[in-house]
Structure 1
Amino acid sequence: MNAAVIILDTTGQVRLWSHQAEDMLGWTGDHAVGLGFDRLMHVRGDADLLAELLDTESWTGHLSLHHRDGYPVQVRAEVSLLADGDGRPYVHASLSDVSRQHTEWRDLATLESLFDSSPLGVAILGSDLRHIKVNKTLALLDHHPVEKHLGRTVDEVVGGRVGEALAELQRNVLRTGRPVVDVIMPGPDGEGFRSVSCSRLEDEDHRVLGVGCTVMDVSERYEVAAQKEIVRERLSLLNDVGTRVADLLDIPRIAERLADTVVPRFSDYAGVIVLEEIAAAGELPRQPPTHRTPLVQLGAAYKQHSPPVERLLRAGQSFTVSERSVTGTALHTGLPQLANTAERLLAATYPGDPRTKAALELGVHSMMALPLRVGGIVLGLLVVYRAESSAPFNDDDMAFAMKLAGRASTSLDNARLYARERAGALMLQRALLPHHIPEPPGVRIAFRYVPGSTGTEAGGDWFDVTQLTGGRVALVIGDVTGHGLRAAATMGLLRTAVRTLSGLDLPPAELLQRIDDIAVELAHDPDEALMATCVYAVYDASLSRCTIARAGHVPPLIVEPDPASEGGRRVRLLELPPGVPLGVGGVKFEAVEFDVPDESVLVLYTDGLIETRGEDISEGLDRLRARLAQPYDSLQATCDGVLGILEPGTERDDVALLLAQLSGLPGGLAADGAAR
């Protein structure tokens, strides 16, 4: 700290007043020069010091001087007697502000204490980014003594990628002046995590002095945050498994979706193995599965495909296990199994299994076999693998994985029950559909029935052809609302009722009226009315006339020869009163009678042929008309061509299709073949 210099003459008047004295006492030189020194004394008795100084020629001690603003300033004075060139004596006084000096020393001591005792690691680096000062906390965090830091850059002390990253960060701060706050970096040797903050140091004139850094150990905070993120991700994964498989009713698709969902979010590879009996017939095993129980791998997922992956996770391959293997134990006991050692991995399935060799080639070091069980009955296994740099599975992973398996198991069991019911409904439906269709003179018949996609229940679509008196023929097609066994059984009742009433030779409108009454009576509950749509047509080949009535069904089409072009065809939508579905009750039905050109084709179908989710039904009807307008070699080929409008891979309803080529009778013949 610079001292203030004052020159006095022997009378005590000020002759020289330095700038430092002006800063210390507030008096400018213009005011101070010429004043008696005793005017500057805060305690007037101290004026006797001048006489003492003249006797001793030097004096050192403390004085209380008067600041221009009225408060005392404590100074340390070093006073000596000087003489100029002519021998005249002068007094030279060097003054130091004791109070300010004490405060500065106290402030420095406080800062030093704070620096040394700070729980944060603190480092001061010069403009060359070499350590000037570090505290003990930083030395502990860096695992190096204080002495090793001084004079060295951070990458020379810490080393490795962490040191390089810190050095780059400090260079950017020094160059740009932009501070960085709470940058998370790994600790030395990859242990724990550190929060690093740095700012550029400048003096009052903004000259760059270096960089100051603080470092804090945030390993615990980071671990807590990482654990929270794991919990959040697991809850999300658990929810995704539930939502992605809950609405599926097809066991292979559930297996594929489950494997796809857990990779790569939970494991690097995954396979879903199901009992063959469940996959094929939906039947539960009568005995707990053992190593002899036939298994099939239905679902598989992987990060990247390769030949070892193909050997390990090929969908559709049989899966064999030994009795004491990891997977065999999980299958028989219904308890999850963890394999984290080479010995356990080699015992995953059975000795010498190519799948085990493939897993080792992929770098698999951890595996879990998780039973898919419902009510204590094992339906299969979810097998997950981690490889290479992925962390091995632990007990927490296994507990969570069983929750995933539990959700998937419920969906598998629902799909199994659905498959069994659907198979029964289809069996009943096929049994009730006609196996032989009569072809009276003047009529040729072709038909198709296509069950709905696997993910839909069996419907109540039906059709029939009945030969009537007088050579006439009745053509009927219908669709019971709803799906499953009830719809199939209802379809059988209505088909039987239509066949029986058609034998009474009732007109189409009256027959539908009778069937409507029956449908109303068959309803067990007013809130669950039995409803069905239907088209009933009667064709008289001797007159080439057709009478049709409609009960809420999709409109029939007729394909007629086009007189405007040789060999051409035109497709016409029959304009019929739409009617209401059977089972509504209390509504009259109407029939339409019209002449039919020879070789015309009457097209009856159910809505599954033209309905597509998210599309207006008119678009499907247009596709059907366009397909029917094309030339075909036969009526059977026409059926196949029409079914070509069904989009593969989409969920769709049942489809019934009935084509009747109406040719009339040769001239001069009655319906019974006799001459007219």
Structure 2
Amino acid sequence: MAVVFTDLHGRVVACNRHVEELYGWTQEELIGRRTEDLAAEPIDEVTRAHTVARIAAGEAWETDIAVRRKDGSTLVVHAVDSPFVDDDGTVTGVVSVSFDITDRRRAEDVQHFLADTTTLLMGSLDFGESLRQLAAAAVPFLGDICLVDIADGPEVVRMAAVHADPGKQALVDILGERYPPDPVGDHPAVRAMVTGIADFSPEMTDEFLRATCRDDEHLELVRRLEFSSYICVPLVARGKSLGALTLVSCSPERRFGPDDLALAQEVAWRAALAVDNARLFSERAYVARTLQASLLPHTLPAIPGVEVAARYLAAGEGNEVGGDFFDAFDVGYGTWAVVIGDVCGKGADAAASAGLARHTVRAAALKERRPSRVLSTLNDAILGDVDVDEARFCTVVTALVRPNRTGARMTIATGGHPLAWLLRADGTTTQVGSSGLIVGVFPQINVRDEVVNLRVGDAVVFYTDGVVEERDDEGRTFGQELLQEVLEASVGHSATEIVDEVVGAVTRFSGREPRDDVAVVVLRVVAAS
């Protein structure tokens, strides 16, 4: 513990022998020096004035401050300063007691850095952007330069390259453009990726640089950047090498050591997990989109005198397929079928059940003339699907539409699904059909057929529960009343416009991507056959 006595001007008048251990200066060398000169950074006027005021008031204070040792190295000390008062009560100087807290401060800083890094990496599934932010946050705490390279098949892609000094960023960019990691060369990043072992050099001598640079221009660039020490650690997650993190010191005063290597490996491990998680999410999202596409028709049929429009909006998570499905197709004898449904749950099992439902309805509608019989066939198929590990049920609406001289005749049956809305040409609205039982739970569902005669200008709106059950930030539900208002304002609009208006109203209401899948199908009679 170093003890220093100073006068009111901050000049050392006495000190104990421990000052040499802490600061590197001998007692004789410190006498007459200002303690302010030991600070690693200049003391600003506000801090100086505050210190003088406290001394004059006879108050003690304590602080953590970075100081520079005689050899030029820096350390952080905790200093407790107290006024020195003579027998008359006059403040004549200051007694300062200080001790080294560099290791403790470094440990605290490391923990804060790792916490911030984890938050940064886990805050986005865009791993490219996360890695660029990581590189920016890493300098100068981890090093003067941070490079992140990712393996992309046989290639190595530099995702980030950041210098702590903005004035030298252009040199780092040029280095990456002209001398990127050669996937078949002896580049440190490539070695780390291939071997899974960190590459570490506490001192990069000129001889070392000559041996590793590809040509004279390369050597000149790294000399201008003043490379002095580097660490290159692999990004490994779940046993797979994904890339490499490289840190470079550009100051001879900063040589990387074992502690720096350990910290770099910890950061690399977290970065690798973030990259791997983002890639897994991306792959799952692709599978989800592919599965979802199989539940929806590629094209909608052309029905004489009837417009058909549909839209599907996936839930905001984006990487798990939902159970919503719809279809519209020609069943022959001048009739077209429309179906919309929602299988309980999400994921592959829900997608499989939705696929079963869609294809079963297609097959049944080709031979059954009543929608209720189509739903009964679907009910039997779901109950008989022994390959499904858990019970799967769904809600479905099926309608058969036959254009005629006055517009179209629609026969509709509903199995536990939200009732379709009928929007008449005069602006009146009503729900059609009767709810019926959920499909796939009971042996008999007892759904009923209802016939609706559609005239020119009439529209029928089918939808899944994601429309009416969407909530805003205050927990209010979109609901049937608001849907009815949207439809009443859509009278005279085309089928496509009505679909867009319903979906738009739902997204505006929630103010974000939907929490559940949203599907809407609209039929609108535009001419008599």
Please indicate the TM-score interval, normalised by the length of the shorter structure.
Answer: 0.7 to 0.9
Matched residues, number: 507
After superposition, the Cα gap between the structure-2 partners of 1:300 and 1:540, relative to the gap in structure 1 and judged at 3 Å, is farther
Separation in 2, partners of 1:498, 1:317 = 60
What is the match of residue 452 of structure 2? 594
How many angstroms does 1:208 deviate by? 1.8
Equivalent of 2:130, from 257, 262, 276? Answer: 257
Asked whether 1:574 is paired with 2:453, we answer: no
After superposition, the Cα gap between the structure-2 partners of 1:182 and 1:635, relative to the gap in structure 1 and judged at 3 Å, is closer
Residues 124-157 of structure 1 deviation map (CA, whole Å, 9 limit, x = unaligned): 75x78877x73653775773555984xx5x52x8
After superposition, the Cα gap between the structure-2 partners of 1:234 and 1:305, relative to the gap in structure 1 and judged at 3 Å, is closer
What is the match of residue 123 of structure 1? 5
Give secondary structure in 1 for the equivalent of 2:82. strand
After superposition, the Cα gap between the structure-2 partners of 1:454 and 1:232, relative to the gap in structure 1 and judged at 3 Å, is closer
What is the match of residue 395 of structure 2? 533
Separation in 1, partners of 2:299, 2:213 = 52
Which is higher, the Rg of structure 1 or of structure 2?
Answer: 1
Moved more, 538-547 or 362-371: 362-371
Equivalent of 1:137, from 3, 13, 17? Answer: 17
In structure 2, what residue type is equivalent to 1:602? V
How many angstroms does 1:476 deviate by? 0.6
After superposition, the Cα gap between the structure-2 partners of 1:591 and 1:434, relative to the gap in structure 1 and judged at 3 Å, is same
How many angstroms does 1:498 deviate by? 0.8
Give secondary structure in 1 for the equivalent of 2:395. strand
After superposition, the Cα gap between the structure-2 partners of 1:480 and 1:241, relative to the gap in structure 1 and judged at 3 Å, is same
In structure 2, what residue type is equivalent to 1:198? S
Contact 2:162 2:169 in 1 (8 A): no
Asked whether 1:519 is paired with 2:382, we answer: yes
In structure 2, what residue type is equivalent to 1:599? G
Equivalent of 2:264, from 401, 404, 407? Answer: 401
Separation in 2, partners of 1:600, 1:546 = 12
How many angstroms does 1:199 deviate by? 1.7
TM-score, normalised with respect to structure 1:
0.60
In structure 1, what residue type is equivalent to 2:304? P
What is the match of residue 119 of structure 2? 240
Contact 1:603 1:659 in 2 (8 A): yes
Separation in 1, partners of 2:379, 2:187 = 63
Q: Structure with the greater relative contact order (CA < 8 A, sep ≥ 6): 1 or 2?
A: 2
Residue ranges of structure 1 left out of the alignment (5+ in a row)? 1-118, 278-292, 563-569, 667-676
Separation in 2, partners of 1:607, 1:348 = 63
In structure 2, what residue type is equivalent to 1:236? A
Separation in 1, partners of 2:108, 2:393 = 53
Residues 272-330 of structure 1 deviation map (CA, whole Å, 9 limit, x = unaligned): 543434xxxxxxxxxxxxxxx22345567787988946973999999652511122222
Asked whether 1:331 is paired with 2:212, we answer: no
CA-atom RMSD, angstroms? 5.0
What is the match of residue 371 of structure 1? 234
In structure 2, what residue type is equivalent to 1:134? A
Separation in 2, partners of 1:366, 1:641 = 61
Contact 1:520 1:583 in 2 (8 A): yes
Asked whether 1:321 is paired with 2:178, we answer: no
Separation in 2, partners of 1:609, 1:345 = 64
What aligned pairs does 1:47-196 form with structure 2 within 5 A after superposition? 121=3, 123=5, 125=7, 134=14, 137=17, 140=20, 143=25, 145=27, 149=31, 154-155=33-34, 159=37, 171-172=52-53, 174-181=55-62, 184=65, 186=67, 189=70, 192=75, 193=77, 195-196=79-80
Separation in 2, partners of 1:525, 1:476 = 23
What is the match of residue 99 of structure 1? none
Equivalent of 2:365, from 502, 512, 521? Answer: 502
What is the match of residue 319 of structure 2? 456
What is the match of residue 83 of structure 2? 199
Asked whether 1:442 is paired with 2:319, we answer: no
Identity %: 24
What is the match of residue 583 of structure 1? 440
Contact 1:173 1:211 in 2 (8 A): no
Equivalent of 2:411, from 543, 547, 554? Answer: 547
Separation in 2, partners of 1:146, 1:663 = 103
Moved more, 369-378 or 293-302: 293-302
Give secondary structure in 1 for the equivalent of 2:455. coil
Asked whether 1:213 is paired with 2:86, we answer: no
Separation in 1, partners of 2:167, 2:501 = 41
In structure 1, what residue type is equivalent to 2:129? E
Residues 153-179 of structure 1 deviation map (CA, whole Å, 9 limit, x = unaligned): x52x88465899699788445522223
What is the match of residue 477 of structure 1? 340
How many angstroms does 1:661 deviate by? 2.0
After superposition, the Cα gap between the structure-2 partners of 1:409 and 1:622, relative to the gap in structure 1 and judged at 3 Å, is farther
After superposition, the Cα gap between the structure-2 partners of 1:228 and 1:471, relative to the gap in structure 1 and judged at 3 Å, is same
Contact 1:460 1:481 in 2 (8 A): yes
Separation in 2, partners of 1:403, 1:163 = 30
How many angstroms does 1:378 deviate by? 2.3
Separation in 2, partners of 1:451, 1:513 = 28
Contact 1:330 1:370 in 2 (8 A): yes
Separation in 2, partners of 1:162, 1:353 = 36
Contact 2:3 2:19 in 1 (8 A): yes
Residues 464-488 of structure 1 deviation map (CA, whole Å, 9 limit, x = unaligned): 2243465333211123334444333
What is the match of residue 80 of structure 1? none
Equivalent of 1:487, from 336, 350, 367? Answer: 350
TM-score, normalised with respect to structure 2:
0.73
